[in-house]
């Protein structure tokens, strides 16, 4: 690399992460922000570029999709939050990744925007200590927003960072953050949204059948599985899984997500959704004729022009290099019982998941 940095900062694009990076930069130190990407969080490239310009920060993206999916398959050591959010293990994963990048960027320490007492699962004092310990960054991690509520770090003790210019924020209020935002003259203040879809019921209900049914079958779900689960409409019939586009963008995304073992459903001669069928545990396992026809009828039912014909329509079903055409009557009333996923997992259900060793 042509430029080296003093610190790597975890950058979620939330206010705390912006302020943490700005606090260290204000001491004349060079900061590289790392924006982590997974199926569950992360900004698209255009938004990252915009954030670079708005906040004047040096930001790189780091994709941890496969590592995150593997962590879920193994089972988060510190468990899940209200839905499927493994917040403590997530932070450990990101800090471990950042530590591995220190040499690449010529950096000496890591910055995080955590505040003691702000989040009940991952920002209790004991959780912050566990994160630092398990990520093996005890002497490398600086939390500028609450540093003066914590023991001094080697960076402060050596004089590399002036402890008196760090902060002592505490708890869930944002008054202190807003004052800092004003001092730094931030042109844009992010809303206090969580940003992780695993912590939202709407998304968790999509991910739950992927995670639970994969693990019950002794299969580790992939990052691609979770991305498919968050795209378009979702339906399940036992081990059979069907995703359908709601618009052109969904259809394009689904076309890119379909693997050679997946089934692709396309209504002939009418605009409408693209469907992608996948089966857990074995995507290549046969879908019998009844399941194929019922799925095709469901896909066709979301094409208004196909429905208005009042009769059967053709749906091409493609798998890899082979295809077949089914003539079906469009119908939302599934004969076999395709249903949308529901959030029904309890704490006991999550604890009982048969995690796999990978």
Mean per-residue pLDDT, 86-91: 96
Mean per-residue pLDDT, 260-279: 96
pLDDT at 2: 64
pLDDT at 324: 97
Q: Are residue 156 and residue 213 in the same domain, yes or no?
A: no
Q: Confirm whether 281 is domain-assigned.
A: yes
Q: Are residue 167 and residue 67 in the same domain, yes or no?
A: yes
Q: Confirm whether 214 is domain-assigned.
A: yes
**Residue 1 predicted with pLDDT over 80:** no
**Residue 192 predicted with pLDDT over 90:** no
Handedness of CA 20, 25, 29, 34 (dihedral sign): positive
Angle between helices 65-74 and 201-216 in degrees, nearest 10: 60
Q: Are residue 273 and residue 287 in the same domain, yes or no?
A: yes
% of the chain beyond a pLDDT of 90: 90
Closest by CA position to 217, among listed 290, 272, 165, 280? 280
Q: Are residue 91 and residue 230 in the same domain, yes or no?
A: no
Confidence of residue 285 (pLDDT cuts 50, 70, 90): confident
- Name the DSSP class of 307: H
Distance of alpha carbon 258 from alpha carbon 213, whole angstroms: 19
pLDDT at 199: 94
**Residue 200 predicted with pLDDT over 80:** yes
Mean per-residue pLDDT, 77-105: 96
Characterise 303 by phi-psi region: left (phi > 0), alpha (psi -120 to 50), beta (else).
Answer: beta
Confidence of residue 325 (pLDDT cuts 50, 70, 90): very high
Mean per-residue pLDDT, 246-250: 97
Mean per-residue pLDDT, 22-43: 98
Look at residues 172, 197, 222 and tell me which one is the last residue of a structural domain.
197
Q: Are residue 193 and residue 205 in the same domain, yes or no?
A: no
Distance of alpha carbon 172 from alpha carbon 261, whole angstroms: 47
Confidence of residue 195 (pLDDT cuts 50, 70, 90): confident
Distance of alpha carbon 219 from alpha carbon 210, whole angstroms: 10
Q: Confirm whether 341 is domain-assigned.
A: no
pLDDT at 59: 98
Out of 61-75, 143-157, 187-201, 321-335, least confident range? 187-201
CB atoms within 10 A of CB 24: 22
| Encoded tokens for 214 | 């994969």
Asked if 129 and 28 count as a contact pair (C-beta separation under 8 A), the reply is no
| Encoded tokens for 166 | 């760090």
Residue with the larger pLDDT of the pair 118 and 322: 322
Residue with the larger pLDDT of the pair 118 and 100: 100
State the chain's mean pLDDT as an integer. Answer: 95
CA-based end-to-end distance of the chain: 33
Mean per-residue pLDDT, 45-68: 97
Q: Are residue 150 and residue 25 in the same domain, yes or no?
A: yes
Q: Are residue 193 and residue 209 in the same domain, yes or no?
A: no
pLDDT at 50: 97
Confidence of residue 117 (pLDDT cuts 50, 70, 90): confident
Distance of alpha carbon 122 from alpha carbon 89, whole angstroms: 9
**Residue 119 predicted with pLDDT over 80:** no
Distance of alpha carbon 223 from alpha carbon 26, whole angstroms: 38
Look at residues 158, 181, 197 and tell me which one is the last residue of a structural domain.
197
Look at residues 163, 197, 231 and tell me which one is the last residue of a structural domain.
197
Q: Which CATH number belongs to the domain containing residue 25 in this structure?
A: 3.40.50.620
Which helix H or strand E contains 242, and what residues bound it?
strand 240-244
Q: Confirm whether 217 is domain-assigned.
A: yes
Q: Confirm whether 351 is domain-assigned.
A: no
Q: Are residue 172 and residue 228 in the same domain, yes or no?
A: no
Q: Are residue 151 and residue 28 in the same domain, yes or no?
A: yes
Contacts of 357 (CB under 8 A, 6+ apart): 74
Asked if 110 and 137 count as a contact pair (C-beta separation under 8 A), the reply is yes
pLDDT at 304: 97
Is residue 31 helix, strand or coil? strand
Confidence of residue 89 (pLDDT cuts 50, 70, 90): very high
Q: Confirm whether 83 is domain-assigned.
A: yes
* Tally of domains in the chain: 2
pLDDT at 252: 98
Distance of alpha carbon 189 from alpha carbon 181, whole angstroms: 7
Q: Confirm whether 353 is domain-assigned.
A: no
Q: Are residue 216 and residue 98 in the same domain, yes or no?
A: no
Q: Which domain holds residue 35?
A: 7-197
- Determine if the pTM surpasses 0.85: yes
Confidence of residue 8 (pLDDT cuts 50, 70, 90): very high
Q: Are residue 259 and residue 322 in the same domain, yes or no?
A: yes
Distance of alpha carbon 17 from alpha carbon 25, whole angstroms: 12
> At which residue do the structure tokens 């999550």 appear?
350
Q: Are residue 165 and residue 187 in the same domain, yes or no?
A: yes
Asked if 34 and 5 count as a contact pair (C-beta separation under 8 A), the reply is no
pLDDT at 194: 63
Q: Confirm whether 315 is domain-assigned.
A: yes
pLDDT at 193: 63
């Amino acid at each position: 690399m042509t430029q080296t940095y003093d610190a790597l900062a975890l950058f979620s694009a939330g206010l705390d992460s912006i302020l943490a990076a700005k606090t260290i930069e204000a001491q004349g130190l060079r900061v590289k922000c790392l924006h982590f990407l997974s199926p569950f969080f992360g900004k698209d490239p255009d938004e990252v570029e915009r954030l670079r310009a708005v906040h004047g920060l040096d930001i790189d993206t780091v994709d941890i999709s496969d590592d995150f999916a593997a962590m879920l398959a193994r089972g988060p050591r510190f468990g899940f939050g209200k839905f499927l959010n493994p917040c403590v293990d997530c932070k450990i994963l990101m800090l471990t990744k950042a530590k591995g990048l220190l040499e690449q960027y010529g950096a000496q320490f890591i910055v995080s925007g955590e505040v003691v007492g702000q989040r009940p699962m991952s920002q209790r004092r004991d959780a912050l200590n566990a994160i630092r310990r398990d990520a093996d960054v005890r002497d490398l991690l600086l939390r500028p927003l609450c540093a003066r509520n914590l023991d001094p770090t080697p960076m402060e003790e050596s004089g590399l960072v002036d402890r008196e210019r760090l902060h002592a924020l505490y708890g869930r209020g944002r008054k202190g953050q807003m004052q800092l935002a004003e001092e730094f003259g931030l042109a844009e203040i992010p809303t206090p949204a969580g940003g992780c879809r695993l912590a939202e019921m709407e998304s968790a209900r999509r991910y739950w059948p992927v995670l639970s049914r994969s693990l019950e079958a002794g299969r580790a779900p992939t990052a691609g599985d979770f991305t498919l689960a968050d795209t378009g409409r979702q339906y399940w019939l036992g081990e059979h899984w069907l995703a359908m586009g709601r618009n052109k963008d969904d259809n394009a995304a689904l076309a890119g997500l379909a693997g050679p073992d997946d089934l692709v459903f396309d209504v002939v001669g009418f605009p409408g959704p693209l469907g992608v069928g996948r089966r857990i545990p074995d995507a290549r396992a046969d879908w019998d004729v009844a399941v194929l026809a019922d799925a095709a009828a469901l896909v066709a039912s979301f094409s208004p022009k196909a429905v208005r014909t009042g009769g059967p329509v053709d749906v091409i079903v493609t798998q890899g290099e082979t295809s077949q055409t089914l003539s079906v009557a469009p119908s939302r009333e599934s004969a076999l019982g395709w249903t949308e996923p529901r959030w029904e997992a309890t704490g006991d259900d999550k604890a009982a998941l048969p995690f796999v060793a990978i």
